[in-house]
Chain A
Protein backbone atom coordinates (compact mmCIF):
# COMPACT_ATOMS: atom_id res chain seq x y z
CA UNK A 1 0.00 0.00 0.00
CA UNK A 2 1.54 3.25 -1.07
CA UNK A 3 2.49 5.73 1.61
CA UNK A 4 1.17 8.50 -0.52
CA UNK A 5 -2.36 7.13 -0.77
CA UNK A 6 -3.12 7.88 2.85
CA UNK A 7 -2.48 11.53 2.29
CA UNK A 8 -4.22 12.06 -0.98
CA UNK A 9 -7.72 11.85 0.35
CA UNK A 10 -10.89 9.86 0.64
CA UNK A 11 -11.72 8.01 -2.60
CA UNK A 12 -15.39 8.79 -2.24
CA UNK A 13 -14.71 12.48 -1.99
CA UNK A 14 -12.45 12.21 -4.98
CA UNK A 15 -15.27 10.71 -6.99
CA UNK A 16 -17.12 13.91 -6.35
CA UNK A 17 -14.19 15.85 -7.72
CA UNK A 18 -14.02 13.72 -10.84
CA UNK A 19 -17.70 14.45 -11.39
CA UNK A 20 -17.38 18.17 -10.69
CA UNK A 21 -14.32 18.56 -12.90
CA UNK A 22 -15.84 16.56 -15.74
CA UNK A 23 -19.00 18.62 -15.59
CA UNK A 24 -16.90 21.78 -15.64
CA UNK A 25 -14.98 20.59 -18.67
CA UNK A 26 -18.29 19.88 -20.38
CA UNK A 27 -19.69 23.35 -19.69
CA UNK A 28 -16.47 25.01 -20.80
CA UNK A 29 -16.55 22.96 -24.02
CA UNK A 30 -20.18 23.83 -24.70
CA UNK A 31 -19.36 27.48 -24.28
CA UNK A 32 -16.72 27.14 -26.95
CA UNK A 33 -19.04 25.18 -29.25
CA UNK A 34 -22.10 27.40 -29.04
CA UNK A 35 -22.50 31.07 -29.72
CA UNK A 36 -24.53 32.14 -26.77
CA UNK A 37 -25.40 31.28 -23.19
CA UNK A 38 -29.02 30.47 -23.96
CA UNK A 39 -27.96 27.77 -26.38
CA UNK A 40 -25.57 26.35 -23.80
CA UNK A 41 -28.37 26.36 -21.22
CA UNK A 42 -30.56 24.45 -23.68
CA UNK A 43 -27.87 21.86 -24.39
CA UNK A 44 -27.25 21.34 -20.70
CA UNK A 45 -30.95 20.83 -20.10
CA UNK A 46 -31.20 18.39 -22.97
CA UNK A 47 -28.26 16.37 -21.72
CA UNK A 48 -29.73 16.45 -18.25
CA UNK A 49 -33.02 15.19 -19.59
CA UNK A 50 -31.29 12.25 -21.25
CA UNK A 51 -29.61 11.44 -17.96
CA UNK A 52 -32.82 11.90 -15.99
CA UNK A 53 -34.87 9.41 -17.97
CA UNK A 54 -32.25 6.77 -17.22
CA UNK A 55 -31.12 7.63 -13.74
CA UNK A 56 -34.68 7.31 -12.44
CA UNK A 57 -34.42 3.54 -12.79
CA UNK A 58 -31.23 3.49 -10.78
CA UNK A 59 -32.90 5.67 -8.19
CA UNK A 60 -36.06 3.59 -7.91
CA UNK A 61 -34.01 0.42 -7.62
CA UNK A 62 -31.87 1.77 -4.82
CA UNK A 63 -33.97 4.25 -2.95
CA UNK A 64 -36.77 2.04 -1.74
CA UNK A 65 -38.72 5.15 -0.99
CA UNK A 66 -42.25 3.95 -1.60
CA UNK A 67 -45.07 5.54 -3.52
CA UNK A 68 -45.41 9.31 -3.74
CA UNK A 69 -48.98 10.37 -3.14
CA UNK A 70 -48.68 14.01 -4.04
CA UNK A 71 -46.32 16.72 -5.09
CA UNK A 72 -45.27 17.35 -1.50
CA UNK A 73 -44.09 13.75 -1.20
CA UNK A 74 -42.16 14.21 -4.43
CA UNK A 75 -40.47 17.31 -3.05
CA UNK A 76 -39.39 15.47 0.06
CA UNK A 77 -38.06 12.50 -1.83
CA UNK A 78 -36.14 14.72 -4.24
CA UNK A 79 -34.48 16.73 -1.52
CA UNK A 80 -33.98 14.15 1.22
CA UNK A 81 -33.32 11.04 -0.81
CA UNK A 82 -32.29 11.80 -4.38
CA UNK A 83 -30.05 14.79 -3.83
CA UNK A 84 -28.54 13.18 -0.77
CA UNK A 85 -27.84 9.93 -2.58
CA UNK A 86 -26.30 11.40 -5.71
CA UNK A 87 -24.83 14.72 -4.71
CA UNK A 88 -24.42 14.38 -0.97
CA UNK A 89 -26.48 17.48 -0.21
CA UNK A 90 -29.96 18.05 1.18
CA UNK A 91 -31.58 21.13 -0.32
CA UNK A 92 -34.30 22.81 1.68
CA UNK A 93 -37.80 22.59 0.26
CA UNK A 94 -39.54 25.92 0.54
CA UNK A 95 -41.64 28.67 -1.06
CA UNK A 96 -44.67 26.52 -1.74
CA UNK A 97 -47.32 28.11 -3.91
CA UNK A 98 -50.80 28.34 -2.29
CA UNK A 99 -52.10 25.72 -4.72
CA UNK A 100 -49.28 23.37 -3.76
CA UNK A 101 -48.15 22.94 -7.34
CA UNK A 102 -44.90 24.87 -7.13
CA UNK A 103 -41.98 24.76 -4.75
CA UNK A 104 -38.34 25.73 -4.53
CA UNK A 105 -35.24 23.80 -3.67
CA UNK A 106 -32.74 25.97 -1.85
CA UNK A 107 -29.17 24.77 -2.22
CA UNK A 108 -26.73 26.22 0.23
CA UNK A 109 -23.87 24.57 -1.52
CA UNK A 110 -23.75 22.95 -4.90
CA UNK A 111 -21.07 20.37 -5.67
CA UNK A 112 -21.30 21.15 -9.39
CA UNK A 113 -19.94 24.62 -8.77
CA UNK A 114 -17.01 23.86 -6.46
CA UNK A 115 -14.05 25.99 -7.55
CA UNK A 116 -16.00 27.57 -10.41
CA UNK A 117 -15.46 31.24 -11.15
CA UNK A 118 -17.67 32.39 -14.01
CA UNK A 119 -15.89 34.53 -16.59
CA UNK A 120 -17.17 38.04 -17.25
CA UNK A 121 -20.04 38.60 -19.62
CA UNK A 122 -21.97 35.39 -19.11
CA UNK A 123 -24.78 36.57 -16.89
CA UNK A 124 -27.40 34.49 -18.57
CA UNK A 125 -25.50 31.22 -18.28
CA UNK A 126 -27.17 28.81 -15.89
CA UNK A 127 -24.06 26.85 -15.08
CA UNK A 128 -25.85 23.98 -13.34
CA UNK A 129 -28.68 23.75 -15.82
CA UNK A 130 -28.12 20.05 -16.26
CA UNK A 131 -29.91 19.59 -12.93
CA UNK A 132 -33.09 21.03 -14.41
CA UNK A 133 -32.99 18.53 -17.23
CA UNK A 134 -32.28 15.62 -14.90
CA UNK A 135 -35.24 16.47 -12.68
CA UNK A 136 -37.56 17.03 -15.61
CA UNK A 137 -36.55 13.78 -17.32
CA UNK A 138 -36.74 11.71 -14.18
CA UNK A 139 -40.13 13.07 -13.16
CA UNK A 140 -41.48 12.53 -16.64
CA UNK A 141 -40.71 8.85 -16.30
CA UNK A 142 -42.95 8.71 -13.26
CA UNK A 143 -45.74 10.36 -15.14
CA UNK A 144 -45.22 13.97 -14.10
CA UNK A 145 -44.74 16.89 -16.43
CA UNK A 146 -42.81 19.40 -14.37
CA UNK A 147 -41.17 22.65 -15.33
CA UNK A 148 -37.79 23.16 -13.67
CA UNK A 149 -35.64 26.25 -13.71
CA UNK A 150 -33.04 28.18 -11.78
CA UNK A 151 -34.23 31.40 -10.21
CA UNK A 152 -31.20 32.27 -8.11
CA UNK A 153 -27.59 31.22 -8.42
CA UNK A 154 -24.81 31.95 -5.97
CA UNK A 155 -22.39 31.78 -8.89
CA UNK A 156 -24.05 34.92 -10.18
CA UNK A 157 -23.75 36.66 -6.86
CA UNK A 158 -27.07 35.68 -5.31
CA UNK A 159 -27.04 34.63 -1.67
CA UNK A 160 -28.40 31.24 -2.40
CA UNK A 161 -29.03 28.87 -5.28
CA UNK A 162 -32.73 28.31 -5.88
CA UNK A 163 -34.36 25.87 -8.27
CA UNK A 164 -38.07 26.23 -8.89
CA UNK A 165 -40.24 23.22 -9.78
CA UNK A 166 -43.73 23.71 -11.17
CA UNK A 167 -46.15 20.88 -11.70
CA UNK A 168 -47.82 21.16 -15.09
CA UNK A 169 -49.85 18.00 -15.49
CA UNK A 170 -50.02 14.31 -14.95
CA UNK A 171 -48.90 12.18 -17.90
CA UNK A 172 -51.01 9.15 -18.66
CA UNK A 173 -49.14 6.25 -20.20
CA UNK A 174 -46.97 8.79 -21.91
CA UNK A 175 -43.90 8.01 -23.93
CA UNK A 176 -41.10 10.50 -23.29
CA UNK A 177 -40.93 13.12 -26.01
CA UNK A 178 -38.02 12.48 -28.35
CA UNK A 179 -35.01 10.97 -26.66
CA UNK A 180 -32.11 12.13 -28.81
Chain B
Protein backbone atom coordinates (compact mmCIF):
# COMPACT_ATOMS: atom_id res chain seq x y z
CA UNK B 1 0.00 0.00 0.00
CA UNK B 2 1.17 3.38 -0.95
CA UNK B 3 2.58 5.54 1.82
CA UNK B 4 4.40 8.16 -0.06
CA UNK B 5 2.67 11.42 0.52
CA UNK B 6 4.65 14.21 2.12
CA UNK B 7 1.58 16.36 2.56
CA UNK B 8 -2.14 15.67 2.65
CA UNK B 9 -4.71 18.44 2.87
CA UNK B 10 -8.48 18.68 3.06
CA UNK B 11 -9.95 22.00 1.97
CA UNK B 12 -13.51 23.10 2.64
CA UNK B 13 -15.86 24.18 -0.09
CA UNK B 14 -15.23 27.77 0.99
CA UNK B 15 -11.53 27.21 0.30
CA UNK B 16 -10.10 27.20 3.80
CA UNK B 17 -8.18 24.24 5.21
CA UNK B 18 -9.97 21.71 7.36
CA UNK B 19 -6.96 19.51 7.78
CA UNK B 20 -3.30 19.58 6.78
CA UNK B 21 -0.73 16.98 7.64
CA UNK B 22 2.88 17.11 6.53
CA UNK B 23 5.88 14.90 7.12
CA UNK B 24 8.02 16.42 9.85
CA UNK B 25 9.93 19.24 8.28
CA UNK B 26 11.35 22.63 9.13
CA UNK B 27 9.56 24.06 6.20
CA UNK B 28 5.93 23.26 6.98
CA UNK B 29 4.90 26.71 5.86
CA UNK B 30 6.08 25.93 2.38
CA UNK B 31 3.60 23.07 2.15
CA UNK B 32 0.78 25.31 3.30
CA UNK B 33 1.72 27.70 0.54
CA UNK B 34 1.88 24.91 -2.02
CA UNK B 35 -1.58 23.73 -1.04
CA UNK B 36 -2.93 27.24 -1.16
CA UNK B 37 -1.51 27.80 -4.63
CA UNK B 38 -2.93 24.54 -5.87
CA UNK B 39 -6.45 25.74 -5.17
CA UNK B 40 -6.27 28.14 -8.10
CA UNK B 41 -5.35 25.28 -10.37
CA UNK B 42 -8.21 23.25 -8.92
CA UNK B 43 -10.68 26.01 -9.70
CA UNK B 44 -9.36 26.22 -13.23
CA UNK B 45 -9.69 22.52 -13.77
CA UNK B 46 -13.23 22.34 -12.43
CA UNK B 47 -14.48 25.24 -14.49
CA UNK B 48 -13.02 23.80 -17.65
CA UNK B 49 -14.82 20.51 -17.07
CA UNK B 50 -17.96 20.08 -19.10
CA UNK B 51 -16.85 22.33 -21.90
CA UNK B 52 -15.45 19.30 -23.58
CA UNK B 53 -18.05 16.74 -24.52
CA UNK B 54 -15.61 13.91 -23.98
CA UNK B 55 -14.90 14.78 -20.38
CA UNK B 56 -15.23 11.90 -17.98
CA UNK B 57 -16.13 14.28 -15.21
CA UNK B 58 -14.10 12.37 -12.73
CA UNK B 59 -13.65 13.53 -9.19
CA UNK B 60 -9.92 12.85 -9.48
CA UNK B 61 -8.22 15.79 -11.18
CA UNK B 62 -4.81 14.27 -11.67
CA UNK B 63 -1.56 16.19 -11.48
CA UNK B 64 -2.28 19.83 -10.69
CA UNK B 65 1.23 21.08 -11.18
CA UNK B 66 4.82 20.08 -10.58
CA UNK B 67 7.34 22.12 -8.62
CA UNK B 68 11.05 21.53 -8.57
CA UNK B 69 10.84 19.06 -5.70
CA UNK B 70 7.24 18.01 -5.60
CA UNK B 71 4.22 16.89 -7.56
CA UNK B 72 0.82 18.10 -6.44
CA UNK B 73 -2.33 16.09 -7.10
CA UNK B 74 -5.94 17.10 -6.61
CA UNK B 75 -9.44 15.69 -6.18
CA UNK B 76 -12.77 17.45 -5.69
CA UNK B 77 -15.91 15.82 -4.36
CA UNK B 78 -19.41 16.61 -5.58
CA UNK B 79 -19.83 18.56 -2.39
CA UNK B 80 -16.91 20.79 -3.39
CA UNK B 81 -14.53 19.47 -0.74
CA UNK B 82 -10.98 19.36 -2.08
CA UNK B 83 -8.26 16.90 -1.30
CA UNK B 84 -4.65 17.73 -2.14
CA UNK B 85 -1.82 15.23 -1.99
CA UNK B 86 1.80 16.21 -2.40
CA UNK B 87 4.50 13.66 -3.26
CA UNK B 88 8.20 14.07 -3.91
CA UNK B 89 9.24 14.47 -7.55
CA UNK B 90 11.99 11.97 -6.96
CA UNK B 91 9.36 9.35 -6.33
CA UNK B 92 9.05 8.02 -9.85
CA UNK B 93 7.70 4.61 -8.93
CA UNK B 94 4.36 6.01 -7.85
CA UNK B 95 1.72 5.22 -10.47
CA UNK B 96 -1.36 7.24 -11.29
CA UNK B 97 -3.53 4.33 -10.13
CA UNK B 98 -1.92 4.34 -6.74
CA UNK B 99 -2.60 8.03 -6.37
CA UNK B 100 -6.23 7.52 -7.34
CA UNK B 101 -6.48 4.84 -4.70
CA UNK B 102 -5.03 7.19 -2.10
CA UNK B 103 -7.72 9.74 -2.93
CA UNK B 104 -10.45 7.13 -2.79
CA UNK B 105 -9.33 6.09 0.65
CA UNK B 106 -9.13 9.69 1.72
CA UNK B 107 -12.61 10.33 0.41
CA UNK B 108 -13.97 7.26 2.20
CA UNK B 109 -12.34 8.34 5.43
CA UNK B 110 -13.76 11.85 5.04
CA UNK B 111 -17.28 10.50 4.49
CA UNK B 112 -17.00 8.35 7.63
CA UNK B 113 -15.64 11.28 9.60
CA UNK B 114 -18.53 13.46 8.49
CA UNK B 115 -20.93 10.77 9.71
CA UNK B 116 -19.66 11.28 13.24
CA UNK B 117 -22.50 13.22 14.87
CA UNK B 118 -20.03 15.08 17.07
CA UNK B 119 -18.23 16.61 14.13
CA UNK B 120 -19.61 20.00 13.20
CA UNK B 121 -19.27 20.57 9.47
CA UNK B 122 -16.87 23.37 8.68
CA UNK B 123 -14.74 22.78 11.76
CA UNK B 124 -11.16 21.60 11.81
CA UNK B 125 -10.92 17.86 11.48
CA UNK B 126 -9.56 16.34 14.67
CA UNK B 127 -10.83 12.79 14.27
CA UNK B 128 -8.29 10.21 15.30
CA UNK B 129 -9.67 7.64 12.86
CA UNK B 130 -9.28 10.09 10.00
CA UNK B 131 -5.79 11.01 11.05
CA UNK B 132 -4.81 7.34 11.18
CA UNK B 133 -5.92 6.83 7.60
CA UNK B 134 -3.87 9.83 6.53
CA UNK B 135 -0.83 8.71 8.50
CA UNK B 136 -1.08 5.41 6.68
CA UNK B 137 -0.48 7.24 3.40
CA UNK B 138 2.36 9.42 4.50
CA UNK B 139 6.00 8.88 4.01
CA UNK B 140 7.56 7.35 7.09
CA UNK B 141 11.03 8.62 7.78
Contact = CB atoms under 8 A, between A and B. Distances in A.
Interface stretch (A65-73, A90-98, A111-119): A111-119
B128 A117 contact: yes
A24 B118 CA distance: 8
Contact of B118 (A17, A21, A114, A118): A118
Interface in A14-32: 17, 20-21, 24-25, 27-28
B115 A27 contact: no
B27 to A, nearest CB: 31
Interface size class, chain B: 10 to 19
A9 to B, nearest CB: 12
A17 B112 CA distance: 11
Contacts, number: 28
Interface in A23-44: 24-25, 27-28
A68 B119 CA distance: 43
Nearest to A29: B117
A119 B117 contact: no
A115 B115 CA distance: 6
Interface string B108-126: 0000110111110000000
Nearest to A20: B115
Interface of B: 112-113, 115-119, 127-129
Given A21-B117, A117-B118, 10 more contacts: A17-B115, A21-B115, A24-B115, A25-B117, A114-B115, A115-B116, A117-B119, A117-B129, A118-B118, A119-B118
